[in-house]
Amino acid sequence: MTTDAPPWTPAELEARLRAVGAARYHDKHPFNVRMHEGRLSREEIQTWVRNRYYYQTRIPVKDSAILAKADDPAFRREWVQRLHDHDGRAPGEGGLELWLRLAETVGLAREEVASLRAVLPGVRRACDAYVELVESSDLLTAVASSLTELFAGDIMTTRIAAFEKHYPWVDPEGLAYFRTRTRQAPRDAAFGLRFVQEHARTRAAQERCVAALERKCEILWSLLDAVEEAHRRPRLSPHAALRDDEEDPARLVIVLPERAVRLNAAGREILALCDGARSADAIARTLAARHPEEPEVYGDVHDFLAEMTRLGVVSHAD
Amino acid sequence: MPAPRPWNLVAELTYRCPLRCPYCSNPADHAAIRDGLATEDWARVFREAAALGCVHVGLTGGEPSARRDLEALVRHAAEAGLYVHLVTAGLPLRPEQIPALRAAGLRSVQLSIQDADPARSDALAGTESFDRKIALARAVRAAGLALTINVVLHRHNLAPCEPGEPACEGAPSGERDPVRALVALARELDADRLELAHAQYEGWALRNRAALLPTREQVEAAAATVRAERARAARPEILLVLPDWFAGRPKPCMGGWGRRLVVVAPDGLVLPCQAARDLPGLAFWSVTERSLRACWEDAPGMNAFRGEAWMREPCRSCPERARDFGGCRCQAFRIAGDPAATDPACALAPAHERLLALRRGEGAAPALVPRG
């Protein structure tokens, strides 16, 4: 940190903020690239829509947190517009409602999506981290973290065109959320940018704003990492050797190069479904259906498979 | 305390090696330690290790392929039910041997290289070996075996090539950053793992400690490169073993003394780590005279630092003791003069200041002495 350096001019600060987006905004994530090139399966689109809904539900929560930090009535009058945009002024209106319509359009059940039951644990962590970032920041940095809106208008335009071209099975009516955001995001971003330019007066404050925007980009990126991971198809590593555990017959020892992993009965049940044909999400759903009395199974299976991937117990067919 | 179950047998088949690496951690008087175990002796050790609970065997040395009975040893280890892993410098092993070793039960190979730059790798190894190593790596992957590339890091291979440096032709990938060049090489070879481990100052390496010690800038630059490369791609898995000399915390040496890992040296001596034979006053036993189980469970040396009863303050009441097991006994002996002392790598150790003084004083980088 070069905190004793002179502050950047407002134009320099804007350039720094835009450079963050140019380098790290999630339009460059492989999953978004594939979405916009028309290479996602119906299941992948559905997983994305279902999980991204959790992000949508966090937006008014974080905007409420930002409102609660603001002393200035003029700021609050402007910012409260965001709550109305997302929640609507009456049931059946607003961005959350539009997202649920998108969910129906891509073939999901509205109630299932709204219940947030099948949210991937990695997505949940990413979105919760965003709310936590906002809650633990001062007003200026919290507003700066919302400036991914600077880049959102373009991605929405790209997305509408991509859906119309590549995913004809999605009813264009369902894309209303994206159309609305192409108008709202630039307006919101302009206000947020002006606020940050006016209030970040020292280099230290400016650098905190840039760092908050970087962190926000990381969060959006990791959300897509989790969605992408859910559609990989795990199978037992070709280097794994399975052995009984002499100390506990319910357990299994998986021996790998320079590593051994012990699995309990639950782990064995998951591993038995890792056949290179089922996706991680299909495995999690199968096991969640098999154990309806245990609502945490879906998320636990995803976390377990991520850990097994890290340890090299499973690899991926694709 | 009762002896725990060992999971991993480290079978040091021989101390012979065609390479002359200056950072070799084998005993400095390795030439005096002959290969004391015949094929049948090792076969018995493998069976006894499996019965003790070992699931892995690492066939290592020295250079394990210097033994002519390597294929038979692989077969005996696999027949004992062990997962057979070969730790090699890549010669005298030949690529043509890999299919037969695989058929005998070999599962994975760790291949050491000295630098991503062929000329530097050869200079550090003291013999022309880089091209043979690359050919071996390709044979390993072609046979479908798991491949780990291992590189011992030190001041010399962490420094970018200087123009005019005699032993420098540049990495095949064209990468200038030495660590990034190693990652690029491991990727190009389709390695599953890349293990980057800072040199341990034991055995022959102790003689070269001053010349091997990296600078703090080198250590930090290597860590930053590894972070970036991990984020870039999942393969290879990159393992970075940070030098405890810079960490302020001791390493969890061997996962604890006589706890997870049993070493059998070329002469049959059973040890908790490859370097422990140099510690004074510890009696270890040999599989030439007793069963592996007796050597593991009952030798006074094996029990000297098991568990926590031997610990003094600040280890005895330290919450980290279950994680780092008190660090490295050999390092305690080298620097504090007492194998039971707190590892001087720990910032809380009475002898930590001595380690810092060594670190400061040994920055002059004298010439490396190749292994004798």
Beta-bridge partner residues of A234: A316
Q: Which residues of A touch B145 (CB under 8 A)?
A: 239
Which of A239, A243, A253 comes nearest B108 by C-beta?
Answer: A239
The closest alpha carbon to A153, from A126, A193, A122, belongs to A193
Q: Which residues of B touch A29 (CB under 8 A)?
A: none
What does the pLDDT look like over A233-244, one tens digit per residue? 999 999 999 998
Residue B101 has what pLDDT? 98
A4 touches chain B (CB under 8 A): no
Give yes or no for residue A177 having a pLDDT over 80.
Answer: yes
Q: Which residues of A touch B146 (CB under 8 A)?
A: 239, 256-257
d(CA B88, CA B111): 5
Residue B181 and residue B116 in contact, taking contact as beta carbons nearer than 8 Å: yes
pTM of the model: 0.84
ipTM: 0.86
Q: Which residues of A touch B108 (CB under 8 A)?
A: 239, 257-258
Range scoring the smallest mean pLDDT among A100-114, A138-152, B137-151, B191-205: B191-205
Structure confidence at residue B370 as a pLDDT band (50, 70, 90): confident
Find how far residue B358's CA is from the centre of its chain: 23
Give me the DSSP letters along A179-197: HHHHHHHHHHHHHHHHHHH
Mean pLDDT score, B30-44: 92
What does the pLDDT look like over B295-304, one tens digit per residue? 999 999 999 9
Look at A255 and B55 and tell me if their CB atoms are within 8 Å. Answer: yes
Look at B55 and A243 and tell me if their CB atoms are within 8 Å. Answer: yes
B88 touches chain A (CB under 8 A): no
Closest approach of chain A CAs to the CA of B18, in angstroms? 25
A258 touches chain B (CB under 8 A): yes
Radius of gyration, CA atoms only, chain A: 22
Q: Which residues of B touch A309 (CB under 8 A)?
A: 234
The strand ranges marked E within A143-299 are: 234-236, 241-244, 252-256, 259-263
Closest approach of chain A CAs to the CA of B307, in angstroms? 21
Residue B302 and residue B296 in contact, taking contact as beta carbons nearer than 8 Å: yes
Mean pLDDT computed over every residue of chain B: 92
d(CA B132, CA B258): 36
Q: Which residues of A touch B7 (CB under 8 A)?
A: 260
Residue of B nearest to A243 (CA): B55
d(CA B56, CA A256): 9
Q: Which residues of B touch A256 (CB under 8 A)?
A: 83, 146
Q: Which residues of A touch B144 (CB under 8 A)?
A: 238
Mean pLDDT computed over every residue of chain A: 94
Element (H, E) at B193: strand B193-198
Closest approach of chain A CAs to the CA of B335, in angstroms? 30
Which of A238, A255, A312 comes nearest B83 by C-beta?
Answer: A255
Mean pLDDT score, A275-293: 95
Closest approach of chain A CAs to the CA of B368, in angstroms? 31
Closest approach of chain B CAs to the CA of A309, in angstroms? 10
Structure confidence at residue B365 as a pLDDT band (50, 70, 90): low
What does the pLDDT look like over B214-252, one tens digit per residue? 888 999 999 999 999 998 888 899 999 888 888 889 999
d(CA A55, CA A293): 27
d(CA B51, CA B69): 23
Residue with tokens 């200087």: B162
Mean pLDDT score, B123-130: 93
Give yes or no for residue B363 having a pLDDT over 60.
Answer: no
Residue B202, φ and ψ in degrees, nearest 5: -130, 165
Instruction: Give the CA dihedral B169, B175, B176, B181, nearest 10 degrees.
Output: -90
Residue A183 has what pLDDT? 87
B241 touches chain A (CB under 8 A): no
B260 touches chain A (CB under 8 A): no
What does the pLDDT look like over A115-137, one tens digit per residue? 998 999 999 999 999 999 999 99
Find how far residue B200's CA is from the centre of its chain: 8
Residue B16 and residue B89 in contact, taking contact as beta carbons nearer than 8 Å: no
Beta-bridge partner residues of A239: none
Which of B53, B83, B237 comes nearest A312 by C-beta?
Answer: B237
Give yes or no for residue B364 having a pLDDT over 90.
Answer: no
B56 touches chain A (CB under 8 A): yes
d(CA B229, CA B180): 8
A246 touches chain B (CB under 8 A): yes
Closest approach of chain B CAs to the CA of A132, in angstroms? 24
Structure confidence at residue A2 as a pLDDT band (50, 70, 90): low
Residue B362 has what pLDDT? 60
Look at B107 and A241 and tell me if their CB atoms are within 8 Å. Answer: yes
Residue A318 has what pLDDT? 61
Residue B259 token pair: 């706890």
Q: Give just the sign of the alpha carbon dihedral B89, B75, A311, A276.
A: positive
Residue of A nearest to B84 (CA): A257
Residue A3 has what pLDDT? 61
Give yes or no for residue B323 having a pLDDT over 60.
Answer: yes
Percentage with pLDDT > 70 across chain A: 98
What does the pLDDT look like over A24-45, one tens digit per residue? 999 999 999 999 999 999 999 9
Beta-bridge partner residues of B262: B9
A260 touches chain B (CB under 8 A): yes
Percentage with pLDDT > 70 across chain B: 98
Structure confidence at residue B1 as a pLDDT band (50, 70, 90): low
Give yes or no for residue B372 having a pLDDT over 80.
Answer: no
B102 touches chain A (CB under 8 A): no
Give yes or no for residue A313 having a pLDDT over 90.
Answer: yes
Three-state DSSP class for B339? Answer: coil
Look at A238 and B144 and tell me if their CB atoms are within 8 Å. Answer: yes
Q: Which residues of B touch A314 (CB under 8 A)?
A: none
